[in-house]
Amino acid sequence: MQAARQAWRRLEPVHSMIYFVPEGPERYAALGLDARSGYFASRSAAFGRASAEIVIATFYNFHPAIVRRALPAAWDAAAPERVLAARTDAAGAALRRAQIHRLPALEETLALARRAAEAARDQAHGRPLFAAHAALAWPDEPILQLWWAQTLLREFRGDGHIAVLTAEGVTPLEALVLHGATGTVPTPFLKATRAWPSDEWEATAERLRGRGLLDGESLTTEGKDFRRHIEDRTDALALPAYSVLGEEGCERLAELARPYGRAVVDAGLLNPA
C-alpha cells in the first residue's frame, strides 16, 4: 500500500497544477468565466451541465453559497464541452511551459499510470466524479495522456476519501479544519478558497477541541491518529487502481514519477496564479 501511495503522491503535481497555473483562468476568461466559476465548471463539466447541488455533494468541502454563485450560471456562458476543451488546452500549455514533455521515460511512465487508471474503471461504483471523467475520451498527446491518467487516479482516490469522511461522520468543514491543522496546506488558503465564514470555522474548530482532536490550532495526539486513520482508509480504497501494477510496478511508477512531480514544482506550476 505504501508503494501505491508514493506513486500517487509523486505524480499528483502533474494533475493538480491545473488548479494553480494562469493558463486555466486565461482560457476560462475567454469563455466569459471568472476564475472561481472556471474552476467549478471545468472540474464538473464531465457531468454535463452539472447543478450546484451535484458539485456541493461531490466536491464536498466548499461553502454551498460560492458553488451556487458559479453554477448553473456558468453553463449559460459556455457549454461543458467548451469548458473541458479549455481545461485540456490549459493543461497542455502549462506542462509544455515546464518542459514536462522533454523528461525521460515518458512512454514507460504513461504506460504504468494509464494501466492503473484504466483498471480503476472496473471499480467505478460509488465514485461519481471518477466515473464521469472516466467516461470521457483520452487526449491524443502523450503528455496530456499522462495528465489525464493522473486526473482519473486523483478523482478515484478523492471519491474514496469522501466515502471515508462520510463513514466517519466528518462534515465538510470539519474535514477542512482538520486538514488545515496538519500544516500541509495553510489554513488561510483553505479559508480563502473554500469560503466558509470565520464564525462557522471557529465554531467547528471549537467542537473538534471539545472532542479532543484539536489543541488550539494544532492536532492533538488523538487528532493525529484520527487523521492517519482517515488517510490509511483512503489509501486502502485507492488500491484497486494500483493493484494491477503489483508492488514492483507501483515502485517503478513512483521512481519514474519523481522527476515529473519535481519539474512541476520547480517550474512554479503549483504557485497560485
Using one digit for the tens of pLDDT, what is the confidence trace for 126-140? 999 999 999 999 999
Mean pLDDT of 230-247: 96
Mean pLDDT of 228-256: 97
Using one digit for the tens of pLDDT, what is the confidence trace for 39-60? 999 999 999 999 999 999 999 9
The whole-number pLDDT of residue 68 equals: 98
CB 205 within 8 A of CB 177: yes
pLDDT of residue 272 exceeding 90: no
Question: Would you state the torsion angle of the CA atoms of residues 162, 63, 154, 269, taken in this order, to the nearest 10 degrees?
Answer: -150
Cis preceding-peptide flag for 72 (omega within 30 of 0) = yes
pLDDT of residue 195 exceeding 90: yes
Mean pLDDT of 85-89: 98
* End-to-end Cα separation, the chain, in angstroms: 34
pTM score over 0.75: yes
pLDDT of residue 19 exceeding 90: yes
pLDDT of residue 1 exceeding 80: no
